[in-house]
Structure 1
Amino acid sequence: MEKIKVLFVCMGNICRSPTAEGVFTKIIASKNLADRFTVDSAGTHAYHVGNPPDARAQKAALKRGVELQHLRARKVHGSDFEYFDYVLAMDDDNYSILFHECPDEHKAKVKYFLDYAPHLGIREVPDPYYGEKLGFERVLDMVQEASLGFLESLQKSGKLSVSN
């Protein structure tokens, strides 16, 4: 069975997108679905390539049992648009960059991550980098909701069958 390939994208790949990668990875592992997915994260900018996630993001995630310390920031590559089935943007700016850089035949793969959590009433995961400590907790809450919604969407669409 072919894996579902998911790429989470923010600006620098040290706060939101690695948090989403970690949360989603934990959720699919808890549902015994890890072998059905390839999960990664990247940034639209190369500010932090090779660096681990922000220490504040790591600390907030670890409180919820999500480990991020092994992740390293990378920049989105042109080949990512062909390789990944879903390229999930965290906000308007990154969505715009991704959509502009994406070849026409793969544009349908570029989506807002929070579109999978419409009950939240917002489309953008706010960048906690320059904000207060609780911003990282808020990001964790949002990506948790969107991750669950994304899995549900895959199940409803028939792209992911789950046997209980």
Structure 2
Amino acid sequence: MTTKILMVCLGNICRSPTAEAALRHAAAEAGVDVEVDSAGTAAYHVGEPADPRMVDAASGVGMALTSVARQVADADFADFDLIVAMDRSNLEELRRRAPDEAALAKLRLLRDFTDEPGTDVPDPYYGGPEGFAEVVRIVRDGARGILASLPAGSR
């Protein structure tokens, strides 16, 4: 059975598309069947590709960012099995928009799947190259944690 996972940040051009690519990459290496997408809680960059600085940082570890930015849709709460926010602010926005308890139960923070639960993935948008490289490291770690958390039948 394929698990459907949505990665979410604010604008869907830095952290969440990188987390999407990291999970897709890790799942392919592990032979795990997952369907992954990403979205933003805001519509700032709808229709745009990932930030070129993030594309460069991800390509340095063999990950391709191919998604196009979109905003979280109401249907996402029903369509995905797990919705993973990059930070607490976006997690709170998702909680606010969740239509019911079942949707709320699907919401998690990415770093809850790492050894730093409750911690945000920092937004690298206004910083230098080191911030983008750090996001790549963090989301790759989170992707491995997500895969390890899936029920045995999903792996």
2:144 pairs with one of 126, 142, 148:
148
Query: How far apart, in 2, do the equivalents of 1:41 and 1:7 lie?
Result: 5
Structure 2 length-normalised TM:
0.95
Query: How far apart, in 2, do the equivalents of 1:122 and 1:77 lie?
Result: 25
Measured after TM superposition, the shift of residue 160 of structure 1 is 2.3
Query: How far apart, in 2, do the equivalents of 1:142 and 1:24 lie?
Result: 12
Partner residue, 1:158: 152
| Equivalent position amino acid for 1:131 in 2 | G
Structure 1: gaps of 5 or more residues: none
| Equivalent position amino acid for 1:66 in 2 | M
Structure 2: gaps of 5 or more residues: none
RMSD: 1.2
Partner residue, 1:46: 43
Partner residue, 1:111: 108
Query: How far apart, in 1, do the equivalents of 2:38 and 2:16 lie?
Result: 6
Measured after TM superposition, the shift of residue 87 of structure 1 is 0.4
Greater RCO structure (CA 8 Å; 6+ sep): 2
Query: How far apart, in 1, do the equivalents of 2:58 and 2:3 lie?
Result: 24
Query: How far apart, in 2, do the equivalents of 1:159 and 1:131 lie?
Result: 41
Q: How does 1:15-164 map to 2 (within 5 A)?
A: 15-33=14-32, 36-68=33-65, 70-104=66-100, 105-117=102-114, 119-120=115-116, 123-154=119-150, 157-161=151-155
Query: How far apart, in 2, do the equivalents of 1:145 and 1:28 lie?
Result: 12
Count residues with an aligned counterpart. 154
Query: How far apart, in 1, do the equivalents of 2:95 and 2:129 lie?
Result: 31
Measured after TM superposition, the shift of residue 159 of structure 1 is 4.6
Structure 1 length-normalised TM:
0.90
Percent of residue pairs bearing the same amino acid type? 42
Measured after TM superposition, the shift of residue 38 of structure 1 is 1.0
Measured after TM superposition, the shift of residue 32 of structure 1 is 2.2
Q: Which runs of 4+ in 1 moved over 6 A?
A: none
Cα gap change, 1:140 to 1:25, in 2 (>3 Å): same
